[in-house]
Structure 1
């Protein structure tokens, strides 16, 4: 169990960045005294309005009364106990989770303090949501596949949502067919508007000319090739979460990104 909890903590904190949506934050960062009790940010899309829910083990306002199967369905299939979750829940990116990693995440969440909180408003959803998993990450990975450097990099990229954020969009969904890694997704936040950059191997429009160290600095420190601070959400995710990515996983991620065909 100890190994599961340690692995679950790594997945939650370094890759999936669950706090980003499910923990309230203030001027100084996350309010860890109310960890996983629900985020303050409201996510809006073409067909939905939602806010990160309470995923602490509280039985009344959190997921303490949920079975492992119900939690698993929410994480990898985007299915809540009252139906389909809003697309803000990146279940498509988590489909790749190995069975062991999925169990580790659930074990870690169950081990956290229960926090009673005002339930988030019911998400507003209209119409059906078509799944958009990243190419090659449509289903759970086998543990053996992670020994391959490129496949491991794809696994990391999917869980960390690199492809969902840095690909072109059509109708509020990632366009992996024509714009895999090409950037263009727009983030509208209180701090301003940011556009996800091109992370393909294009030498000018993308990161083809970047060194491995420059890419690693951008991912883990939120710093551009020229040394400028990147805009949120990348800068926030880099410092709070991606800085914790292990050297092995970071090397695998860079190796995978190098395989993305150049896109303008």
Structure 2
């Protein structure tokens, strides 16, 4: 019996210790972000009828053909010729958070650089560290074409960004904003093509793909059009499994498979943040 108790205690301690290790090990933290809430592969991993193409994780090539641009997701594997294998950590970090390639070219939409500028220094370093470990895939990707002028930059160089405050709403705002960029898709555009942050979370943006056309939902606490009548569990199920409160199957481009990897605390914090949003009818 003592040996059984020791085994049980060891198992319990391992469950307590592993999340802490994931938070302190940069590569583990980077993997959790890139392959989870950030959902980088939702754009950067090419898809087939059955989902992600085998052996092509983060190898780029997905085409986003919209009126203002024909953007092609970059290869962000460690391949030195067609990916980012020759980029320094600082160059990877600058590309993610400031939208500037090593050669000075601006990274255009749909990369939500405006939000990525809020990624904390620690998480940015962790994401770069993980991308270094992604197996190289040789996949040459054509350059994106923009039918609109790109800005010279997205703002002044970002000096430093601390971690968010350790309360549910602050952490949820960070996860749904700079990291997961949920509010990018779920916030409508102004007539001049910018996000209307006065209507954060109101939804309404259409997304057309093989599934047809899906429309970003209102994710504010409005009871008629938003999530005000949903339980926390229903919101989590929608995010991680693509099932609405009434049981309907939700459509892409939401990266449900990535969000299913998000841990319970982070999901609860995201829900807390969504509950805090001003109602948008």
* TM norm. shorter chain > 0.5: yes
The TM-score, its normalising length taken from structure 1, stands at: 0.89
1:226 to 246, 260, 277: 246
Tell me which residue corresponds to 2:176.
157
Q: How many residue pairs align between the two structures?
A: 253
Counterpart CA distance in 1 for 2:37 and 2:273 is: 16
1:39-188 paired onto structure 2 within 5 Å? 39=61, 41-80=62-101, 81-117=103-139, 119-125=140-146, 126-129=148-151, 141-143=161-163, 145-158=164-177, 159-170=179-190, 171-177=192-198, 179-188=199-208
Tell me which residue corresponds to 2:5.
none
Q: Which has the larger radius of gyration?
A: 2
Tell me which residue corresponds to 2:7.
none
1:213 to 223, 226, 233: 233
Unaligned segments of structure 1, at least 5 residues: none
Contact in 2 for aligned 1:95/1:139 (Cα 8 Å): no
| 190 and 173 in structure 1: CA distance in 2 versus 1, 3 angstrom threshold | farther
Unaligned segments of structure 2, at least 5 residues: 1-20
Counterpart CA distance in 2 for 1:132 and 1:63 is: 21
The TM-score, its normalising length taken from structure 2, stands at: 0.84
Residue 146 of structure 1 deviates from its aligned partner by: 3.7
Query: What is the RMSD computed on CA atoms of the aligned residues?
Result: 2.2
SS of 2:55's partner is helix
Counterpart CA distance in 1 for 2:60 and 2:236 is: 30
